[in-house]
C-alpha cells in the first residue's frame, strides 16, 4: 500500500515484523464509534456512527437535543431527573 491515500492520517498505522525480518507498516481502518449510555452502557439512538462525512453535518443532527442528549439513554435520563427532582 502506497501513495496519497496512506499519507492521510485517517488510517491507523501498525508496525508488523515480516517473516523475512523486515518491519513494515500495515494500515488499519478504525472501527466506527458506537455511542453508549453513561449509566447502563446501552446503545444510544439518534447518534450516528462517526465518519469523515459527519464533519459537515450540523451538531443538532448528531445527537438528541435535550438534557444529556448523546450521554444518557431515555430511561436512565428519566430516572436521573426523578432523583434530582425528588431530592430537591
Q: Note whether 73 binds Zn ion by CB under 5 A.
A: yes
The strand pairing partners of 17, in sequence order, are 23
Q: Note whether 14 binds Zn ion by CB under 5 A.
A: no
Among the candidate windows 1-9, 12-20, 39-47, 51-59, which touches Zn ion by CB under 5 A?
39-47
Q: Note whether 44 binds Zn ion by CB under 5 A.
A: no
Report in angstroms how near the CB of residue 32 gets to Zn ion at its nearest. Answer: 20
Q: Which residues of 45-75 are buried (b: 16+ CB within 10 A; e: fewer)?
A: eebeeeeeeeeeeeeeebbbeeebbbbbbbe
Which residues would be at the binding site for Zn ion (CB under 5 A)? 37, 39-40, 73, 76
Amino acid at each position: 500500500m502506497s501513495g496519497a491515500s496512506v499519507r492521510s492520517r485517517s488510517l491507523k498505522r501498525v508496525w508488523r515484523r515480516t517473516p523475512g525480518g523486515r518491519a513494515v507498516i500495515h494500515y488499519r481502518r478504525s472501527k466506527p464509534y458506537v455511542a453508549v449510555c453513561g449509566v447502563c452502557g446501552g446503545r444510544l439512538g439518534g447518534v450516528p456512527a462517526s465518519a469523515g462525512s459527519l464533519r459537515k453535518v450540523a451538531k443538532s443532527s448528531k445527537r438528541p437535543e435535550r438534557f444529556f442528549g448523546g450521554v444518557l439513554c431515555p430511561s436512565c435520563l428519566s430516572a436521573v431527573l426523578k432523583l434530582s427532582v425528588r431530592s430537591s
